[in-house]
Amino acid sequence: MFGDSIRKCLAGLQGTQTWRVGIAVIAKENYPLYIRSVASQSELKFHYTVHTSLDVVEEKISAVGKSLGDQRELYLGLLYPTEDYKVYGYVTNSKVKFVIVVDSSNTSLRDNEIRSMFRKLHNSFTDVMCNPFHNPGDPIQSKAFDGIVSGMMVQTG
């Protein structure tokens, strides 16, 4: 109760360094449509992490599926933390998954920021899908989408 307020008042003091590890878009069939990470040396690990996170994504989707009725929340929240990363998930209505992997040391990103990142990503993704020359199911090769993702990666909190 008090902790939160403390956290808020102290938040201003902390630095603005942000280092996101990567963003991935995964097709309904669970193959990557777009996958990009900043640190190239750990790219492989990133791929493994994102792939493994699909387990939790599926778990969450199916858990939601049981309680039908109200509109599903697209944002799945923190999928699971690891020592080095925090993995967040988001699922569109067409079961395309967005995964954002954030370095654990990055504490400036709150739920809300992650949410808005996902929303931005979703909007851009929708634009890609609206492109009549894009074949749904093909890997995303849109410059605009690339730009949005790059923007998110270099953006400082």
Q: Which residues bind other proteins (CB under 8 A)?
A: 1-4, 6-7, 10, 13-15, 27, 29-32, 43-44, 47-48, 51-52, 54-56, 58-59, 80-83, 104-105, 107, 137-139
CA-to-CA distance for 57 and 79, rounded, in angstroms?
7
What letter represents residue 5's amino acid?
S
List CB contacts of 73: < 8 A, sequence separation 6 or more. Answer: 64
Toward other proteins, which CB reaches closer, 139 or 147? 139
Nearest approach, Cβ of residue 122 and other proteins (Å): 21
Instruction: Give 111 or 138: the residue with its C-beta nearer to other proteins.
Output: 138
Shortest reach from residue 113's CB to other proteins, in Å? 16
Spatial distance between the Cα atoms of 108 and 65, rounded to a whole number of angstroms: 32
Q: What does the DSSP 8-state code read for residue 134? A: S
- Residue 42 CB, nearest approach to other proteins (Å): 11
Angle of CA points 147, 89, 143, to nearest 5°: 15
